[in-house]
Amino acid sequence: MRKQIAAANWKMNLSYQQGEELLKEILDTDLGLKDNQEVLFAVPFPYLLMTKKMIGDRRGFSVAAQNCHHEKSGAYTGEVSAPMLASMQVNYCLVGHSERREYNNETNQTLALKVDQCIENSIIPVFCCGEPLSVREAGTQNEFVSTQLRESLFHLGPDIISTIVIAYEPIWAIGTGKTASTGQVQEMHAYLRAVIEDQYGKETAQEIPLLYGGSVKAGNATELFLNPDVDGGLVGGASLIAVDFTTIIRAMK
């Protein structure tokens, strides 16, 4: 059975003390996770060890970094490498979030190097892909997103790519006043799985969790997660509110 994931992306939010309070409230809630369900907390770098300590040995909870550098070490002031994350036993790392692509000019080629660094250090990449409004309006979203996969992931062997997580973020539906319908979400997720199947075969394509990252909220999570190719969500603002995020967690199939 394919893994289902509710991933909290705190971005650059919350003080250390607020993060502790939020984690405690979520972790103290009886969520009834199934064996194939997992909750990720992608927290700012200074909060990684605190989050790991609070999670402890609870089943179904993991910590994720929001980014890593594409080199393993060097004179890159302010950056954090995958080996550093591995030394803290960080389980997951977001790679290629739309905000980093936009604000930090991260290219598909750079992201391929970041994916490799994660794999080399036994960190599971949560690879983010998705199209901006101009691409969606031009009707070329399929070609755009498939290029992101091909240039950043398709150098991996089938045994490796089957271990990663992919998150689809329709950038045009985040903060624009436009919304993606559940039909549009399922259509793109099914397309992504078909692109992977064409490259690696059906068995591999069916193993990879595909998360939706377009303004998942407590009120729409159940409807979104009912789609057959949507295996959970990469959650931004709603993950900063305990009652909302626990509702989203419970919405997993």
Is the distance from CB of 63 to CB of 40 less than 8 angstroms? Answer: yes
Per-residue confidence (pLDDT) for residue 177, from 0 to 100: 64
How far apart CA 203 and CA 64 sit, in angstroms, is 27
**pLDDT one-digit tens code per residue, 129-185:** 999 999 999 999 999 999 999 999 999 999 999 999 999 999 988 867 677 899 999
For helices 16-27 and 242-250, the axis angle rounded to 10 degrees is 40
How far apart CA 47 and CA 117 sit, in angstroms, is 21
* 189 in active site: no
Q: Pairing state of beta strands 37-42 and 61-65?
A: parallel
Question: Of 97, 99, 131, 189, which is the active-site residue?
Answer: 97
* 70 in active site: no
Q: What is the mean pLDDT of the chain?
A: 96
Neighbours of 72 (CB within 10 A): 14
Per-residue confidence (pLDDT) for residue 77, from 0 to 100: 98
Per-residue confidence (pLDDT) for residue 218, from 0 to 100: 96
Range 4-250: architecture per CATH? Alpha-Beta Barrel (3.20)
Q: For 34, phi and psi rounded to 5 degrees?
A: -80, 170
Per-residue confidence (pLDDT) for residue 1, from 0 to 100: 87
Question: Of 70, 99, 169, 189, which is the active-site residue?
Answer: 169
